[in-house]
Amino acid sequence: MLLSLSIKNYALIESLETDFSNQFSVITGETGAGKSILLGALGLVLGKRADLTSLKDKEQKCIIEAQFAVSNYNLQSFFEDNDMDYEDKTIIRREILPSGKSRAFVNDSPVNLQELQELGEMLLDIHSQHQTQELAEENYQIDILDAVANNGESVNSYKKALTDFKSTQKELKQLISEKEALVKEYEYNSFLLNELLAANLIDGEQEALEQELEQLSNVEFIKENFERILAFANEEQVGALVNLKEIKIALQKIAGFSNQNAQFLERLTSCLLEVEDIISECEQSNEKILADPERLELVNTKLQTIYNLQKKHQVQTIAELLVIQNELDAKVIRVDDLDGAINKLESELNSKQAKVDELAQAIFENRKKAGPILIDKIKAILAQLGMIEANFQIEINHTNSYYPKGKDEVVILFSANKGTSFGLLKKVASGGEMSRIMLAIKAILANYSKLPTIIFDEIDTGVSGEIAIKMGEIMKEMSATMQVFAITHLPQIAAKGDSHYKVSKRNVGETTISELNLLTSEERIQQIAEMLSGKEITDSALQHAKALLN
């Protein structure tokens, strides 16, 4: 329930502070006095986007603050889920800075516009003339039917199940698409994989094979040089080993005469051992070296295979070829794996689809039951509003399509007079009829929704006289269960309010400002009389105003 509204530096309003009652309040005033400004300010508090044109003084910030009593509407969980501070009397503040930026606060905690809009939808419904046109739209008609059918929880469950179903459906389509792509490449990938597997590649093998190829290609040259080494080392007269041994014998003879000579002997002995090892290993290597044309051909063929594969796959090493081999192996195996994954997802999808269909069927059954109830309630209210012969048909077609709120297509058809054909609301209902139908809908929804406040912005368009009185009475009845505001030009409706506010504007110096004032009993008589007769208030208008108020 809206308790109070404070506006500073917004449009024509310099500063305004007003408290509101919890009953039926009417707001009147001349065209252009600022009634739309009040709605605009409330819209900002509820999360609508703002710009610098909203500022009266472009150098000062605009502040709009509304206080709501929320203790009876079970909103604690919403506040907790959105990390807001909960207060039974919640204050929403919106600030628009001269820079064009805007900020929003709930109980002094900063919030984003999305959160503010979600909270606003649970606090207040501003019914504009534009919303009357929404009555002809299928989505709005479904919402009306679902409110009477008490489908709220069922529709929410359906939405969650549908989201889950579509997510699985998307995942399945991706897997099927991936499989189709892999199947097209399967034979080529298998060929490439088999080619790599046949090569029996081993990381590091290429360097060893290249070294072996060098040795096998130069067997005679290597053997010739090994034999020369052995000859130079072991020749009896001038061989390197023979001479080194003679030097060692000489050093042994003089080693005892000085430490230096002893060191010479030690060092030579070490060198001689190393040379003897080298010559020994050279002898072994020389014995092992044999010409092997078959091995040479085998090594050459293996290396050529490696070189061809590297060129084909545009890489430089066996390690890179092995990476490609693993990737191809994964792709080939993936086709078989995908079959299993697809079968599993198809089973999941069928189960989730069955759940969605079950929820959609329950929603459909509830809507079918609610249809006649809704029609009877609308007709009863419209009879009070002078539309005695008005009649409706609600067509609910349960389809195979999955819509955001079920699988149904809903159309509300209307006939204003007995004997006339039913037609779409937007085609056969006049502006005045649409206003009365919308009021009837809102009056019905007031008994089903938990919305604390509704504001009717000139819902009386196209009506007058006794019908206007009845509309006022219906809004007053609605105020027994919720807070109701009516912005009106009709004295018959204005007279039904428990509280009467007047919007007016006046010139102050070089500027124009709008004001909102709660009228006293005497001021109400004057205002309603003025609405009846114009600026020149007559005695009969005053008497008529008093009669309406009584």
Q: Which residue has the tokens 């059918």?
A: 149
Sheet holding 89-96, edge to edge: 13-19, 2-10, 62-69, 89-96, 102-106, 109-111
The three-class DSSP label of residue 46 is coil
Residue 63: pLDDT band with limits 50, 70, 90: very high
Per-residue pLDDT tens digits for 99-134: 888 899 999 999 999 999 999 988 988 887 667 777
pLDDT of residue 238: 66
Structure tokens of 229? 């080494």
* Stretch 127-148: mean pLDDT: 84
* Of 353-362, 441-450, 478-487, minimum mean pLDDT range: 441-450
The dihedral sign for the CA sequence 324, 329, 334, 337:
negative
Q: Which helix (H) or strand (E) holds 103?
A: strand 102-106
DSSP 416: S
Per-residue pLDDT tens digits for 276-286: 888 888 888 87
The amino acid at residue 96 is I
Greater model confidence, 3 or 303: 3
Locate the DSSP E strands across 404-493: 406-415, 423-424, 453-457, 483-487
Structure tokens of 185? 């490449």
* Stretch 90-103: mean pLDDT: 90
Per-residue pLDDT tens digits for 187-222: 777 788 788 888 888 888 888 887 777 777 777 787
pLDDT at 370 over 80: yes
Q: Specify which of 18-32, 94-108, 110-124, 354-368 reaches the highest per-range mean pLDDT.
A: 354-368
- Cβ atoms within 10 Å, residue 181: 11
CB contact burial 99-131 (16+ within 10 A = b; e otherwise) = eeebebbbeeeebebebbeebbebbbbbbbeeb
pLDDT of residue 247: 80
* Stretch 496-522: mean pLDDT: 87
Q: Specify which of 38-42, 156-160, 219-223, 317-321 reaches the highest per-range mean pLDDT.
A: 156-160
pLDDT of residue 309: 87
Q: Are 454 and 25 in contact (CB under 8 A)?
A: no
Q: How many helices (H) and strands (E) does the chain have?
A: 18, 15
CA of residue 176 relative to chain centroid, distance: 26
Q: Count of alpha carbons within 13 Å of 534, Cβ hemisphere only?
A: 1
Residue 518: pLDDT band with limits 50, 70, 90: very high
* Of 14-18, 53-57, 288-292, 372-376, minimum mean pLDDT range: 288-292
pLDDT of residue 409: 94
The amino acid at residue 49 is R
The three-class DSSP label of residue 370 is helix
* Beta strands 483-487 and 453-457, pairing class: parallel
- Alpha-carbon gap, residue 15 to 29, rounded angstroms: 18
From the list 226, 246, 251, the residue with the least C-alpha distance to 236 is 246
Alpha helices in 289-415 (DSSP H): 293-313, 318-384
To 10 degrees, the CA torsion angle through 190, 196, 197, 201? Answer: -160
Distance set, CA 191 to CA 185, 187, 323, 332 (Å)? 10, 6, 16, 10
Angle at which helix 318-384 crosses helix 293-313, to 10 degrees, equals 30
pLDDT at 180 over 90: no
pLDDT at 5 over 90: yes
- Alpha-carbon gap, residue 304 to 296, rounded angstroms: 12
Q: For the chain, how far is it from start to end, CA to CA, in angstroms?
A: 27
CA of residue 474 relative to chain centroid, distance: 41
* Of 73-77, 238-242, 289-293, 327-331, minimum mean pLDDT range: 289-293
pLDDT of residue 333: 67
Rounded to the nearest 5 percent, the helix, strand and coil shares of the chain are 60, 20, 25
Residue 98: pLDDT band with limits 50, 70, 90: confident
* Stretch 26-41: mean pLDDT: 83
* Stretch 410-425: mean pLDDT: 90
Greater model confidence, 492 or 335: 492
Query: How is domain 2-150+385-519 classified at the CATH fold level?
Result: Rossmann fold (3.40.50)
Per-residue pLDDT tens digits for 372-390: 999 999 999 999 998 999 9
Cα-flanking dihedrals φ and ψ of residue 462, to 5°? 85, 5
pLDDT of residue 256: 82
Q: Specify which of 41-50, 71-80, 148-157, 181-190 reaches the highest per-range mean pLDDT.
A: 148-157
Who's near 5: CB < 8 A, 6+ residues apart? Answer: 16, 17, 18, 20, 38, 41, 42, 64, 65, 66, 67
pLDDT of residue 476: 93
pLDDT at 239 over 90: no
pLDDT at 434 over 90: no
pLDDT of residue 236: 64
pLDDT at 290 over 80: no
pLDDT at 224 over 70: yes
Residue spans per domain, the chain: 2-150+385-519, 179-336
Greater model confidence, 422 or 251: 422
- Alpha-carbon gap, residue 544 to 92, rounded angstroms: 41
* Of 66-75, 179-188, 523-532, minimum mean pLDDT range: 179-188
Mean of the per-residue pLDDT values for the chain? 87
pLDDT of residue 261: 83
What would the 3-class secondary structure string for 176-228 be? HHHHHHHHHHHHHHHHHHHHHHHCCCCCCHHHHHHHHHHHHHCHHHHHHHHHH
Q: Are 504 and 482 in contact (CB under 8 A)?
A: no
* Stretch 174-180: mean pLDDT: 84
Range 209-217 contact pairs with CB under 8 angstroms and sequence separation of 24 or more: 209/299, 209/302, 209/303, 209/306, 210/303, 212/295, 212/299, 213/296, 213/299, 213/300, 213/303, 215/289, 216/292, 216/295, 216/296, 216/299, 217/296
pLDDT of residue 302: 84
Structure tokens of 92? 């929403």
- Alpha-carbon gap, residue 471 to 24, rounded angstroms: 13
Q: Which helix (H) or strand (E) holds 500?
A: strand 499-508
- Alpha-carbon gap, residue 527 to 549, rounded angstroms: 11
pLDDT at 364 over 80: yes
The three-class DSSP label of residue 381 is helix
Residue 497: pLDDT band with limits 50, 70, 90: very high
